Every structure is written in C-alpha cells, then in structure tokens.
C-alpha cells in the first residue's frame, strides 16, 4: 500500500508530507484548494508527463516521493521480474526529481530507472483513476482491452495464436501484392536479374579476397620505397663495412684474447650468437629483396581486380560475403520469376491455407471473448445494482470487422440502458456524467474482485451524483477498501463520512503567496468537515448533528463489511 507521499515545489505546494493508512483515505477541501494537485503528483511520480509549468519556483527542482509497503507475494514476483525488490522491511521508495529544463530523474530504492520501468512497476502498485480516465469508457476500442484484461487467463493464449497466424498471413499477402506484375514487367525483371547474376558470377569472388588484394596492391605500389629501404638496411647490417663486418672483426680480436683468459669464453659465445643472428638477418633481407620483382607484383592487374571488387561492393554490399548473399537472393528470385505462374499459385495456396488457420483462431478467440463478456457484464450489472442502477441493462455488443488483424476480428462496445423501457445504446451515446462515473466504479470494483490492486486512487469518482446514489457509491468504495487501500477525493458528505482516515486540503497565504497545505483530521474535525460538505461554510447545529449520524452509520456499515 501507499504509506507516504512527499511533494516539494509543485504548483501551490511548497513542501508537504501525507501519511496514508489502510482502508478508505478521503481527501476533501474547497474547490481550487489543490486536491487534484496531489492526485496529479502521484500520477507524475508513477511515470506521467511533466511540464516545467508545474514547478512552483523554477529556480528549484521539484520532487515527488512515494513510499510503499509491499507484502503481496504476487506483486513482489512481478516487481522482481522488473529487477526491483523491496528493502528488508518491505519498503519501496519511488522518487521523481523534476527540473526546470524538462529533465526528470527517476529512482526506485535509490537505483536510477527509465520511465518504462517506472510505469511497469507502478502498474503493480497503484490503480489510478484520474478525472480524465473515465473518458476511456467513451472509446469502444478501449472496451475490448478491458474485456481482454478481465478474461486474460482464457483469452491471452488465444490472442497469441491469432497474432502468430496473422503475421504469417500478412507476410504472404504482402508478398503476393509485391510480386504482382504483367508479362512485360516479368521479362524486364528477369533480364535485369540475369545481368546482375552474370556480373557477380563473372568476378569469381572468394571470401577474404578483397583484403588480400588490397594488401598486395599496397605493397606493389610501394616497391621502389621498399627496395631502397631494404637495400640500406642490408648495407648497414652487412659484411662490407656494415655491422656484420664490425662484429666479425670484434670476434676475431676476442678469439686472440681467449688464450690469455678463459673467463672471456662467455663473452665470446655471446658475440658469436650476435654474429649468427646478423648473418641470418642478412640472408632474410637478401631473400626479401629478391622477391621484390615487378613480375611477382603486377600492379596494373591488382588495381584492375581491386576496382572490380570495389565496384561490386558499391552495387551489392559492403563485403564479399554480403555480395554473395545478394547473389543467392537474385538466383532465388530469378527462379521464382522463371516459374512465375507456379510461384504465384503456390503463394495463393499457402495464403488460403493460412487464412483458414487465421479464421479458425479468430473465431475461437471471438467465442471465448463472448463467453468472458457475459461474465464481466453480469458482474458489472450486479455492481451497478448496488450503485442505484435499479433496472439497468448492461452488455457488450459484438460486430465482426471487415478485415483480419493481429487482435482478431472483434469490434466491441459496452451497451447501457439506464432506465426501464429505454433501448440499450452504446455507452458513449447513452451515459450521463454521473452514470459514467458509476459505470467506471462498477468496472473498477469488478476488476478489483478478480485481482486486488494494493492501492486504488479515485479523483472525483462522485461526479454528477447525489442523494441516495451518493450513499450507494460510498458503500461501494467502503467495500473496495476492505480489499485494497483506497485514496479518494470527494465533495460528497456521504463518501466523506465513510472515511477511515480523513485529510483536509486548504489554501493559505504565506509571505504574500498562496500555498496548499494538508492535515489529517481527528474525529471531531472530521465531523465538522463532513458538516461543511452538507451545509457549506455556515455550519449549523443541524448539519453537525447530521454529520455525526452519518459518521456513526458509516461505522456500522464498515463493521458489516469486515
């Protein structure tokens, strides 16, 4: 669950800390006090987009820190797959530092991570419902995603089968389209391929030949310089006034001294070794010089061969291996075009075979989706009943797409009839703002039953509702909060009264600037804040009494949920 949020230098916030609790955490405050800033900060910390306009003081960095307590085994497993582990106490610290230049630094438990990892980790920790999220319910394309998420255990494997079949289908279809040509085009393509094949084959290239020829040509073009240099070395080390001659004279002198002192034997052996080395060196130099002949290194022929190889490289690849691969491809294409009708017939045969496989996989996927949609809509309908949709009709409509896709052939849409006698219509055409909020809450409640997220955040889920419906929404939030930690912004006293922990967000003026602050309310102040939501700023004894009763009734409701 989310234990703490620390926000610094964001919009109206200088610096605040909020310690959240288990159960239902309610945030209230006057319009414009900064409630949505807190939810927005959570979203940014979890990888959301950041604008430097959000910095209160652009000369300073902004900072958002979220401290989580992770004790859910499945969540730990999912995090470990991302290379993330809570510390020894089960804590996970998510930090996002925001700079005026638009750069952000993301850390989890002190380790820098990219935004992709941050978002993936966040998805395991928090289910965030911001004000704009329910607009996704107005997009039919999102309905299919929600269904697939609900029925993932049964649907995922079928989707993979469809995607695999579609890739093969699409590849063959594109190959057929690309290979379509008339007889004139085919003959022209054959002529060009024949020219390319003959040009490459005529060169009789060998692997590694380019480097060998280039080295030989380099040596050949430097013959004069090599001869002169080797000649000078031979002269300096030779036996005609060179080093070999001097060593020979020194050796003769030393041999005359050996009779006087046998201690010179070691020096004599060393000098003889030097004489032998110089002698071998001179023979090698002579052999190398003899090999430097114009006949052995035909410069013109080497240059011609090098030009041939480089010309082919410019046309067909950066290496001989690439050129030979191109040659194999040209031959394969030539063979196909020579037997063009047979090649096209085989492609059409394969396309028909793969289309049948894709159709079968798509139908299986569609059938399973329809089964899962009935389960999902039944659960949502039950949740809607608890949210004061007494006679609502809610189901998922399926149409078949005209084209195959990697996601199957289904076009889906949630259908709703909120009142008896009304024809069910697509959700984006039939739901009011308040109804859409309740549908979203019903959906969240249903999905949370399947696999509880550690923390669920709702930003004004109460939009467009009041009275008895508000009480139903409050009861549903309380029920969800028995399974998951819930953090919720509200304007409704019915929801506020249900709080396990109540936080008040206020605007104040400090040193001539407006700042947002937050404080946790004790029972007395929670009653007064609930009364304010009932009556406005002018608190009356009646409003306070009503708030006390609402709080007491809420306690009884929560006891029954435990």
Contact 115, 106 (CB under 8 A): yes
| Domain range enclosing 13 | 2-131+452-561
Residue 327: which region, alpha, beta or left (left: phi > 0; alpha: psi -120 to 50)?
A: alpha
**Residue 495 within any structural domain of the chain:** yes
**Residue 433 within any structural domain of the chain:** no
| Spatial distance between the Cα atoms of 505 and 513, rounded to a whole number of angstroms | 16
| Spatial distance between the Cα atoms of 549 and 547, rounded to a whole number of angstroms | 5
Residues 205 and 329 in one domain: yes
The CA radius of gyration of the chain, in Å to the nearest whole number, is 41
Provide the whole-model pTM: 0.63
**Residue 402 within any structural domain of the chain:** no
Number of domains in the chain: 2
CB count in 10 Å sphere of residue 246: 13
**Residue 68 within any structural domain of the chain:** yes
Considering 306, 338, 370, which residue would you say is the last residue of a domain? 338
Residues 73 and 195 in one domain: no
Residues 125 and 194 in one domain: no
Residues 300 and 201 in one domain: yes
Residues 126 and 241 in one domain: no
Residues 126 and 193 in one domain: no
Residues 79 and 209 in one domain: no
**Residue 167 within any structural domain of the chain:** no
**Residue 83 within any structural domain of the chain:** yes
Considering 338, 363, 389, which residue would you say is the last residue of a domain? 338
Give the Å distances, CA to CA, from 435 to 21, 127, 132, 133.
29, 21, 15, 14
Residues 456 and 535 in one domain: yes
Q: What is the DSSP string of 126-159?
A: EEEE-TTGGGGGG-HHHHHHHHHHHTHHHHHHHH
Residues 307 and 203 in one domain: yes
**Residue 149 within any structural domain of the chain:** no
Considering 316, 338, 360, which residue would you say is the last residue of a domain? 338
Residues 194 and 114 in one domain: no
Q: What angle is formed at CA 379 by the lines to CA 395 and CA 434, rounded to 5 degrees?
A: 70
Residues 36 and 116 in one domain: yes
**Residue 124 within any structural domain of the chain:** yes
Residues 100 and 215 in one domain: no
The set of residues, in sequence order, having a beta carbon less than 8 Å from that of 247 and lying 6+ positions away, is 271, 274, 275, 278
CATH of the domain at 85: 3.40.50.300
Tens-binned pLDDT, residue by residue, of the chain (562 aa): 899 999 998 888 888 999 999 999 999 988 776 777 888 888 888 888 877 788 888 888 889 999 999 887 888 888 888 888 888 888 899 999 988 877 888 899 888 888 888 888 887 888 776 655 656 677 888 889 889 988 989 999 999 999 999 999 999 999 888 777 777 887 888 889 989 999 999 999 998 888 888 777 777 766 656 666 766 787 777 777 778 778 878 887 778 777 777 788 888 888 888 888 888 888 887 777 776 665 455 767 878 888 888 899 999 988 899 999 999 999 988 888 777 778 888 889 999 999 999 999 999 999 999 999 999 999 888 888 888 787 778 899 999 999 999 999 999 999 988 777 778 888 777 666 667 778 888 887 787 665 556 888 888 677 777 788 888 888 888 988 888 899 998 889 999 999 999 999 988 887 778 888 889 999 999 999 999 999 887 888 899 999 999 999 989 988 888 6
- Reference 435, options 395, 495, 394, 396; nearest CA is 394
| Spatial distance between the Cα atoms of 511 and 14, rounded to a whole number of angstroms | 12
């Amino acid at each position: 669950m989310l234990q703490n949020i620390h926000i610094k230098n964001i919009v109206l916030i200088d610096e605040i800390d909020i310690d959240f609790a288990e159960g239902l955490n309610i945030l209230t405050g006057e319009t414009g006090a900064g409630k949505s800033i807190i939810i927005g900060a959570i979203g940014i910390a979890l990888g959301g987009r950041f604008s430097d306009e959000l910095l209160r003081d652009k000369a300073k960095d902004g900072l958002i820190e979220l401290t989580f307590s992770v004790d859910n085994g499945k969540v730990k497993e999912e995090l470990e797959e991302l290379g993330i582990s809570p510390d020894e106490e089960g804590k996970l610290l998510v930090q996002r530092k925001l700079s005026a230049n638009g750069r952000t630094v993301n850390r989890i438990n002190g380790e820098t991570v990219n935004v992709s990892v941050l978002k993936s980790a966040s998805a395991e920790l928090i289910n965030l419902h911001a004000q704009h999220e329910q607009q996704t319910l107005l997009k039919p394309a999102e309905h299919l995603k929600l269904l697939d998420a609900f029925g993932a255990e049964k649907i995922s494997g079928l989707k993979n089968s469809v995607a695999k079949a579609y890739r093969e289908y699409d590849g063959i279809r594109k190959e057929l389209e690309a290979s379509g040509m008339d007889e004139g085009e085919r003959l022209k393509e054959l002529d060009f391929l024949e020219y390319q094949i003959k040009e490459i084959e005529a060169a009789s290239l060998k692997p590694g030949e380019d480097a060998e020829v280039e080295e030989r040509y380099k040596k050949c073009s430097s013959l004069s310089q090599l001869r002169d240099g080797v000649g000078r070395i031979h002269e300096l080390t030779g036996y005609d006034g060179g080093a070999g001659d001097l060593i020979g004279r020194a050796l003769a002198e030393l041999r005359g001294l050996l009779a006087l002192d046998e201690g010179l034997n070691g020096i004599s052996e060393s000098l003889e070794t030097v004489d032998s080395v110089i002698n071998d060196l001179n023979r090698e130099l002579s052999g190398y010089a003899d090999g430097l002949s114009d006949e052995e290194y035909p410069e013109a022929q080497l240059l011609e061969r090098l030009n041939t190889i480089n010309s082919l490289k410019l046309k067909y690849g950066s290496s001989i291996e690439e050129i030979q691969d191109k040659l194999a491809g040209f031959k394969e294409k030539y063979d196909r075009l020579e037997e063009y009708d047979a090649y096209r017939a085989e492609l059409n045969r394969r396309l028909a075979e793969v289309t049948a496989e894709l159709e079968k996989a798509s139908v299986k996927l569609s059938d399973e989706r329809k089964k899962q949609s009935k389960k999902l809509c039944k659960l949502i309908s039950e949740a809607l009943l608890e949210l004061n949709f007494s006679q609502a009709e809610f189901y998922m409509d399926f149409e078949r797409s005209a084209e195959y896709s990697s996601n199957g052939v289904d076009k889906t849409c949630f259908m709703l009839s909120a009142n008896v006698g009304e024809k069910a219509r697509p959700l984006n055409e039939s739901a009011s703002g308040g109804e859409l909020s309740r549908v979203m809450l019903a959906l969240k409640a249903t999905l949370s039953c399947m696999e509880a997220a550690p923390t669920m955040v709702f930003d004004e889920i109460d939009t467009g509702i009041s009275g008895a419906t508000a009480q139903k929404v409050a009861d549903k939030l309380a029920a969800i909060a028995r399974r998951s930690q819930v953090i919720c912004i509200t304007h409704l006293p019915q929801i506020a009264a249900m709080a396990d922990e109540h936080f008040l967000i206020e605007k104040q003026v400090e040193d001539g600037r407006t700042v947002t602050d937050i404080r946790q309310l004790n029972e007395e102040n929670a009653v007064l804040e609930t009364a304010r939501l009932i009556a406005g700023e002018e608190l009356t004894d009646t409003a306070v009494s009503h708030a006390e009763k609402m709080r007491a009734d809420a306690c009884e409701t929560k006891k029954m949920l435990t």
